[in-house]
Structure 1
Amino acid sequence: MGRAEIGQRGEDIATAWLERHGFTVIDRNWRCARGEVDIVARTAEAIVFVEVKTRTGTSAGHPLEAITRSKLRRLRHLVPAWFTAHPEHGAALIRIDAVAVHLVGSRTVVEHVAAVA
């Protein structure tokens, strides 16, 4: 599996995991000139912008280690752009979460961290 396929598989797994845990996914892979948001979901309390990182082993470190301060800063700048493109969602409490997907052989482990930024 190539890098793009691994990333897409991880996002599919993260989406299914979020939906099983009460999130309603309202957008995926939203792009603008500033960057991309992997998943946008709604809970009863907030609209949640989710960064997904997937790893197939441990040589590159933990998936969450790839979510740097600069990545979080970029995500924070994408939030208003997303709302501008989706005015139907109006004002809401906003949260940025991270999901780590570990694909190790036939085993899949998902870790969700709320409010990383």
Structure 2
Amino acid sequence: MAAKDELGRHGEEVAARYLRDRGMRILERNWRCAQGEIDIIAQDGDDLVVVEVRTRSGRSHGTALESVRPGKLSRLRALAARWLAAQPCAFRTVRVDVIALERFAGDFALRHVRGVM
């Protein structure tokens, strides 16, 4: 496995653990369809949370948070609608969160942004 893929996989595991530690229930990880992928689908109380995880080992190409562009957010909202259409349950609200992880000296700095527009 390439180092970049390994870093991303590790970042997603850190993000999932972080969400569980805050009381969220992980419903799916790496859900895919023809239009794309959602890294993590979680339930936060009565709310559905679609989580984009971005992991970086440095800032030479900007921060992890800056790498989530408006087009990606729009695609995530469309993917959430596809996922919801196949579910037997309803949620009070749906939001898109971003978890940005940056590795410095082996440790991760984590930033969780809720309800990204």
1:58 deviates by: 1.6
1:90–1:45 distance in 2 versus 1, CA, 3 Å: closer
Structure 2: tracts of 5 or more residues without a match? none
Query: 1:48-63 to 2 correspondence within 5 Å?
Result: 48-63=49-64
2:89 corresponds to which residue? 89
* Structure 1: distance between partners of 2:12 and 2:19: 10
* Structure 2: distance between partners of 1:48 and 1:108: 22
Q: TM-score when scaled to structure 2?
A: 0.92
* Structure 2: distance between partners of 1:46 and 1:27: 14
DSSP 3-state at the match of 1:41: strand
Q: TM-score when scaled to structure 1?
A: 0.92
* Structure 2: distance between partners of 1:108 and 1:64: 14
1:21 deviates by: 1.1
1:91 deviates by: 4.1
Query: 1:4-83 to 2 correspondence within 5 Å?
Result: 4-83=5-84
DSSP 3-state at the match of 2:41: strand
Kept in 1, the 8 Å contact 2:101–2:109? The answer is yes
Structure 1: tracts of 5 or more residues without a match? none
Residues 39-77 of structure 1: per-residue CA shift (max 9 Å, x gap) = 000011301000000001121211011110100111111
1:109 maps to a residue whose letter is: A
Percent identical: 37
Residue correspondences, number: 116
Q: Which runs of 4+ in 1 moved over 3 A?
A: none
Kept in 1, the 8 Å contact 2:100–2:111? The answer is yes
1:100 corresponds to which residue? 100
